[in-house]
Structures are given as structure tokens and as C-alpha cells.
Amino acid sequence: MTVSVLDDALARYWGYTTFRPLQREAIEAVLQARDSLVVLPTGGGKSLCFQAPAVVRPGLALVISPLISLMKDQVDTLVGNGVPAGLYNSSLTAEEKRAVVAGLRGGRYRLLYVSPERLVGEGSEGFLALLASCGVSFVAVDEAHCISQWGHDFRPEYRQLARLRDALPGVSVHAFTATATARVRRDITAQLGLRDPVELVGSFDRPNLVYRVLPRAVLKRQLLDILARHRREAGIIYCTSRREVDALAAWLTAEGIPALPYHAGLGEAERSRHQDAFLSERVDVIVATVAFGMGIDRSNVRFVVHAGAPRSIEHYQQESGRAGRDGLEAECVLIYSSADFMKWRVMLEGNGELTDAARTLLRQMEQYAAGIGCRHRHLAEYFGDRHAGDSCGACDFCLGELETAAEPVTLARQILSCVARVGQRFGAVHVANVLRGNGSDQVVARGHDKLSTFGLLPRASVAEVRGYIQQLIASGLLRLTDDAYSLVVLTPGGLELLRDERSCPGLTLARQRPVRKDAARVRSRAETESWQDVDRDLFERLRVVRLETARQRGVPPYVIFHDATLREMARLRPTSLDALLSVKGVGARKADDLGEIFLAAIRSHQL
């Protein structure tokens, strides 16, 4: 197949003139019918790697996807681009299923999305026989990390997909995921039975995302500060419990920030309504458990907040990566406390899931949360990726929002000494009160106001001292007990540092710098570059046009155009169809269908 055929399809259906890194190589593996494993970060364009070859190669592309919402998002977008695609899952009525089957037999689809349960569950033999008769050209397994017990969304059904080799002999299999360590990649290859696969692993770094970590203090105040930076923008707030989801969503709404809850405890119809409200831009904020988000493709998710630490860096990478999928700037904030990790251990142990692997993943997440250094570098190197450059310019550390302690060893020994002198029988708040010289009733009743460590850190806030304690826990110098009320106790490493100040070289401690309310916000490089030469008033006008058009057509706004495309329009300000086709994200089909609507808005704005 000539390169021009693929390039023509890219321009016609997706409006792009160039491929992102590794996309062409991944597409070539599909076109050559050679098994492959492709790992591209969220927003890296992995879906195009199996959608484009489905358009230019004869036959039916079978796409296995874990969530109905994910299938619907992708099929809606494909159909909007002029690509014949369908889905077959439990959400369809009997009549709709018959229509899809008729379409398969009539060769009307280039892509068919199905769930793994449909292929390996009870009664799947007849469906597999139907597919075998439809000329399946290749199989794409999306979100392939679900196949691995070391992955963050393990799905037992995925481990049975190797049976497709028998049902569809000679058909190549291609695994795609956004998040996979080397161990997970090996597991995917083995479980899917991939044959000498082409392995393509892109950079895990997302330079458009700004990563921040905040020790949990007054959560509601911290959330309001974050939301104030993102007025009229979309975001997701993740919580670890359903109760907290419901409470925060109700509180935000009462505060004048409409928000909807999403978790597995809600009825299916209510979850669907809330998700549709978010995707159709009737509401900007969703408060959710991890049940929400896989494949969510809203056009302008500009922030993701974790109001509590997730159980692994894989989970965090996947969930925070739902921001900025359009390549534009977005903010990812982790608000955590050491108690989060204790809760996870208790929960996993109660479910019989606290394996050595789970313990390791929790420990690695804790090290990220309390670590001092470039967040982008930490995440990239965790996934085996090298991070170039000294400063990412897009995290709290590199933006100068953290202030490192001038004498971290002295500070650490003061805190460790206080823990020892209160008998290792109290929690972090009590230790912080003693160090700050706060003569609370409990401190005075215990006589701890007479200790030599009382008032050693008089100018530090409770949040600051607790942050230091959490960093010492992550460094292995302190630990929390497994009691219902967790106590802070010394580890052997902490005892050694008390005995010998030279025993812990390289120790770093830091605090959040105080933020002046009237100070101009420091902008990341990605944000500065993405707005360069953009007419912001025109951009907002185009957003209104997009929303109106989407509602008239009954589709989510992202099916019309993404924010990145609208910003490019507001930068280039095209006034003809030919000029519009030069805008990234505007293909021939969309130019014919939507061009005059958006050109009219641009022309009227320039009058």
C-alpha cells in the first residue's frame, strides 16, 4: 500500500497532515498483519493506530473494548468523521442487535466494537462464528493492561481472549494501552499469545500536564482554590469512597459550582445521565470514584483532582491522564495524606487482595506523593522512560512552588526526636502540635508542653509539619501503625538517623510556598505556547457555536471539534473552505458538513 493512500485517509477522515510519534509504525504493523503491542500515553493517539488501517485495509476490524461508554465515544466520533463503524453490546435492544448483525452480513462496517464478555462469555460461540464469516482482517485489543494482574484495571475476561486464535485463525492481534510497565507488557504478550510482536513504547511524558501534590489540609478550601483557576472549564474530582463522592458533589453544588456524582452505587440509568451531562457540557464537574473515566473524551477536561491517593502509580497515570487529552494544557493535582495508604492496605486486606504486588504498588505511589523533585521525571522513569532536560516547567517542583528545607537532616531529627519523646503513642496531628508549641488540652494533659521538642517549629503550620512527617514516612524513617487510629512510630532507619546524623545522605524535605492571593499565576510552557496568537474572544465564540451545533444534532460537542481545533481556528482565522482545511483536525467530511457554520462565525467576528 502506498504511503499516499494512508496520508489521504488521515487528512480526509481526521483532518491531520502528520502522524504523532510511533503512529505510522503501529499502523504499518497492522497493515503487514504482524502482531503488535503498542503503548502510547493518553492523548498520544493510540486509537488512530487501529482506526486508520481499518479504513484503508479490506475487511472488518474487530476492536475489543472494556466499557460500553468507551465504545460509544469512539463509534460516535468515527461516524461523525464519515467512517462506517458499529458496536455490539448489552446496551442495545433486540432490534438494534438484529440491525448490527444485518450490517455485518452486508459488509457495511469497517470497525466493530465489542466487549471481551461478548467474545468469551456464555453463548459466545455463535457470535464468533458470525464474525469468522465476516472477513475479520485484524483484532485490536484496546486497554490491554486489563489482561494483566499487575495492571491497574485487571479484568479476568481479558485473560481468555487468547481463544480468539482458534476462532479466527491467521488473523493478527494487536494490543493497545496507555499505561504498562515492562512487567505488564510481558504479561500482555504471554496472555494474548502474541507471536513475535512488534513492540512500540512511546514516551510516557505528557508535557501539557502540570502535576502538583498537596498534603491534605482543609480539603474543601484546597478544592475551591483549584476550581477558582478553572472557572467554566471541565474537570474530574476523584474520591476513594462513594460517601465522599456524594458529599463533595452536594457541597460543590451548594457552593454554586454545579457538580454531579458518579460511582457504582448509583443506578445504571443515573450513571448514564450524569456521564451524558458531562460529555454534552450541561455540567462541568464530575465527582467520582475510579468507576468513571476510561475513554472519556470530553473536549476540554482541563483539570483532574485526586482527593486522596490512588492505589498505584499506574492508576494515577491513567486517571490523571484523562485531563488534556486534546494536547492542550491541563492541571493534575494529588491531595493526599499518609492515612490514604493505610486505608488502602486495610481495604485490600479485607478483600483478600493485599498481595506482595499490591504492597509494592502502594509503596511506589507513596514515594511519588511525598517525593521532592520533578514530577514528570518521576513518572517517566517509573515506566522506564528517560526524561530529558533539567526542568520540565510543568510541575510544582520545577515551577518553584516547593521550598526545600535548608537543613533537612536537622529538621528530620527534630521531628524524629519528638516522635520518640511522646512515646511513639500518638498520631501526626499531636506530634505537629507539640513541635509547633500548641498547648492544646491533650498536649498539656500529657505533659508534652514540658518536652524539649515542644515549640521547636513555632512558625510552621500544622499542614507543613504533617507534610514533613509524610515525607519521612515515604523515606522509610517513620511509619504508621495498623491501628484504627494510626500512630506515628520510628523505623530502624529513623532510629539510626537519631544516633548518627550522617546515616541518611541526600535526604530532602520541602513545603509548599505560601501563595499570595494577588500574585499572578505562574503558567506552564505548554499553556503559554497553546494560547500564542489565539483570539480568545473568537475561541469562546466558536465554543458557543460548537455547543449549539452539538445540541441541534444530539451529539456530544467533542464529536463536532476538539478545543485544540477551535484554538487553531481562532489563531489562523480562516475565511474560506480551502483555508479551513489547513486547520489541524478539520477533515474533508467535516469541512463539507460543518465548514460554513464555523466560517460564518469567524467572518462575523472579524466585522
CA 585, chain centre distance (Å): 23
Q: What is the pLDDT of residue 154?
A: 66
**Does residue 319 carry a pLDDT above 50?**
yes
pLDDT 10s digits, 263-279: 989 998 898 899 889 98
Say whether pLDDT at 527 is over 50: yes
pLDDT for the residue numbered 326: 85
Residues 278, 234 contacting (CB under 8 angstroms): yes
For residues 378-400, give the mean pLDDT: 86
Whole-number Å distance between alpha carbons of 588 and 13? 7
Overall average pLDDT of the 271-289 stretch: 92
Across all residues in the chain, what is the average pLDDT? 89
Decide: 183 and 5 in contact? Cβ < 8 Å: no
Question: Rounded CA gap, 51 and 61, in Å?
Answer: 8
In DSSP notation, 146-191 reads GG-TTSSS--GGGGGGGGHHHHSTT-EEEEEES---HHHHHHHHHH
Q: For residue 80, what pLDDT band results from cuts at 50, 70 and 90?
A: confident
- Encode burial over 144-168: b for 16+ CB neighbours within 10 A, e otherwise: bbbbbebbbbebebbbbbbebbebb
Considering the chain, what percentage of its residues have pLDDT values greater than 70?
95
- Helix segments in 14-168, DSSP class H: 23-31, 46-56, 68-80, 94-105, 116-120, 124-132, 164-167
Options 3.40.50.1100, 3.55.30.10, 3.40.50.300, 3.10.400.10; CATH for 209-400 is 3.40.50.300
pLDDT: is 370 or 260 the higher one? Answer: 260
In which element (H, E) is residue 444 found?
Answer: helix 441-445
Cα distance between residue 450 and residue 596, in whole Å = 78
CATH annotation of 531-606? 1.10.150.80
Q: How far is CA 306 from CA 139, 285, 316, 320, 369, in A?
A: 34, 13, 9, 8, 11
Residue-wise pLDDT tens digits, 198-231 = 999 988 888 899 999 998 889 999 999 999 999 9
At 53, is the pLDDT very low, low, confident or very high (cuts 50, 70, 90)?
very high
Q: What is the pLDDT of residues 122-167, one digit of tens each?
A: 778 888 899 999 999 999 999 888 887 655 566 777 778 888 888 8
Residue 500 has pLDDT above 90, yes or no: yes
- If pLDDT is split at 50, 70 and 90, which confidence band does 517 have? very low
Q: Provide the CATH number for the domain formed by 404-512 in this structure.
A: 1.10.10.10
Q: What is the mean pLDDT of residues 42-64?
A: 91
> Residue 468 — very low, low, confident or very high, per pLDDT cuts 50/70/90?
very high
Task: State yes or no: pLDDT of 519 exceeds 50.
Answer: no
Q: How far is CA 46 from CA 39, 41, 187, 541, 598, in A?
A: 8, 8, 20, 31, 28
Q: Decide if pLDDT at 3 tops 80.
A: no
Q: Is 60 exceeded by the pLDDT of residue 2?
A: no
pLDDT of the residue at 333: 97
Distance CA 216, CA 51 (A): 42
All structural domains of the chain with their residue ranges? 3-201, 209-400, 404-512, 531-606
Average pLDDT over residues 73-81: 88
Q: What is the pLDDT of residue 518?
A: 41
Mean pLDDT of all residues in 295-323: 87
In this chain, the answer to whether the domains covering 3-201 and 209-400 adopt an identical fold is: yes
Residue 330 has pLDDT above 70, yes or no: yes
Q: Among the residues of 478-562, which ranges form H helices?
A: 492-499, 525-530, 536-553, 557-560
- What predicted TM-score, i.e. pTM, was given to this entire model? 0.81
| CATH superfamily of the 3-201 domain | P-loop containing nucleotide triphosphate hydrolases (3.40.50.300)
When pLDDT is cut at 50, 70 and 90, the band that residue 420 belongs to is very high
